[in-house]
Amino acid sequence: KNEVEQSPQNLTAQEGEFITINCSYSVGISALHWLQQHPGGGIVSLFMLSSGKKKHGRLIATINIQEKHSSLHITASHPRDSAVYICAALRFYDKVIFGPGTSLSVIP
Amino acid sequence: DVKVTQSSRYLVKRTGEKVFLECVQDMDHENMFWYRQDPGLGLRLIYFSYDVKMKEKGDIPEGYSVSREKKERFSLILESASTNQTSMYLCASSSRSIKQYFGPGTRLTVT
């Protein structure tokens, strides 16, 4: 069993749909990091959070420390949101464990 | 803005060649990391460094070595490239306990 899991693995949505990507982890963490990787490889940091909720534009990330679960939501999805979304558990002493990624495709 | 740069976006090498991948960050970060990313396997840590001249093995260090002679530069070395090292290589840096910033990646093909 992986220490960081994501669901779904692949997701196809129609433009405008509300999207949720889930991340669950089984280890103690200092924070959780959501990353976005577009085709071509570049990785962009979206959020880092250790409690509660953060919002940036149409993106919202939440974390429940007790349940060891985080979600990334995209409101009013757009084709430019198509990417791989990766959650990463930041463990103490700087060790990071990456989830396998969720591949999102938003169709016009 | 933090900037992490990698020496090449695309690289093609022959089996047995020595390969150098360079990573430079401009934010005086203590920590630097090298990952490889393969379909279905996600990001896997090869080596990381907490400070100049310090290095620690990650999850898959076999076939690789690293060098950190200056704080801003972290090099990944493939002593004798093999076809199973064809992959996307990503460098990242961070200050202690703060989020990691990634470079654009180097897609290496070993033929």
Per-residue pLDDT at A1: 65
Per-residue pLDDT at B94: 86
- Catalogue the long-range contacts made by B55-63 (C-beta closer than 8 Å, 24 or more residues apart): B58/B33, B58/B34, B60/B36
Q: Where are the beta strands (DSSP E) in A4-92?
A: 4-7, 10-14, 19-25, 31-37, 43-49, 52-56, 59-64, 69-74, 83-90
Q: Does B50 touch chain A (CB under 8 A)?
A: yes
Give the residue, B85 or A96, on which the prediction is more confident.
B85
Parallel, antiparallel, or unpaired: how do β-strands A102-107 and A83-90 relate?
antiparallel
pLDDT(A70) > 90: yes
Q: Does A43 touch chain B (CB under 8 A)?
A: yes
Per-residue pLDDT at A27: 87
Is the CB of residue B39 less than 8 Å from the CB of residue B104? Answer: no
Using a CB-CB cut-off of 8 Å, the residues of chain A touching B101 are 45
B96 contacts A96? CB cut-off 8 A: no
Average pLDDT taken over every residue of chain A: 91
Q: How far is A50 from chain B (nearest CA, A)?
A: 11
Per-residue pLDDT at B43: 87
Q: Give the type of residue at A88.
A: A
Q: What is the mean pLDDT of residues A21-50?
A: 88
In angstroms, rounded to a whole number, what is the distance separating the alpha carbons of residues A75 and B71? 40
The b/e string for B57-80 (b: 16+ C-beta within 10 A; e otherwise) is ebeeeeebebbbeebbebbbebee
pLDDT(B97) > 60: no
Give φ, ψ of B85 to 5 degrees: -100, 5
